[in-house]
């Protein structure tokens, strides 16, 4: 998996890992289980196949998804979330709650436009049983203040 090198901050690294809106939507659609490329293309309309394939490759490199090639003719490939990819589910849940509070969309909007709710929709799944409480991270101790240096350097 790739290391993120913006400024060393975990938030910046996570945002680089997420990349764009398509990553979280792929996670949303793989939440319920493995899917084939054509299923993802249908669920993520209007994404282009080129954009989807590029995003899936990056997510595989980042160990967020697993690509299962079953071979055969026509070729059968499925994608599924890894344990690392499932760690993004609480973020999905938070995004859903923010979208509801800000009244961005209603679940019914998706049902009306696509004909079905997404697999992550609260209309489709029982109460938050799959969301793990985030681990509380202890704050780092304050660094010791720098000692004032009153010396003068002459050049």
Strand pairing report for 35-36 and 65-71: unpaired
Which two three-digit tokens encode residue 95? 């995004």
Query: How high is the mean pLDDT of the chain?
Result: 81
Q: What is the pLDDT of residue 90?
A: 92
Q: What is the pLDDT of residue 104?
A: 84
Beta bridge partners of 66: 80
**pLDDT-derived band at 139, boundaries 50, 70, 90:** low
Q: What is the pLDDT of residue 147?
A: 66
Among 1, 62, 72, 61, CA closest to 36: 72
Q: How far, in Å, CA of 50 to CA of 66, rounded? A: 19
Q: Which residue has the higher pLDDT, 44 or 109?
A: 44
The answer to whether 16 and 6 are in contact (CB under 8 A) is: yes
**pLDDT-derived band at 131, boundaries 50, 70, 90:** very low
Among 1, 76, 3, 60, CA closest to 26: 60
Q: Would you say residue 58 has pLDDT above 90?
A: yes
Phi, psi of 81 (to 5 degrees): -75, 140
């Amino acid at each position: 998996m790739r290391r993120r090198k913006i400024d060393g901050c975990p938030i910046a690294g996570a945002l680089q890992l997420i990349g764009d809106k398509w990553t979280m939507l792929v996670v949303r659609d793989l939440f319920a289980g493995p899917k084939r490329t054509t299923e993802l293309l249908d669920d993520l309309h209007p994404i282009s196949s080129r954009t989807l394939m590029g995003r899936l490759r990056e997510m595989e490199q980042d160990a967020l998804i697993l690509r299962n090639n079953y071979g055969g003719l026509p070729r059968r490939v499925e994608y599924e979330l890894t344990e690392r990819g499932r760690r993004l589910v609480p973020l999905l849940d938070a995004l859903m709650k923010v979208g509801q509070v800000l009244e961005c969309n209603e679940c019914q909007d998706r049902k009306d436009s696509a004909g079905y709710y997404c697999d992550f929709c609260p209309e489709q799944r029982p109460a938050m049983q799959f969301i793990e409480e985030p681990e509380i991270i202890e704050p780092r101790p304050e660094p010791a203040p720098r000692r004032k240096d009153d010396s003068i350097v002459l050049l």
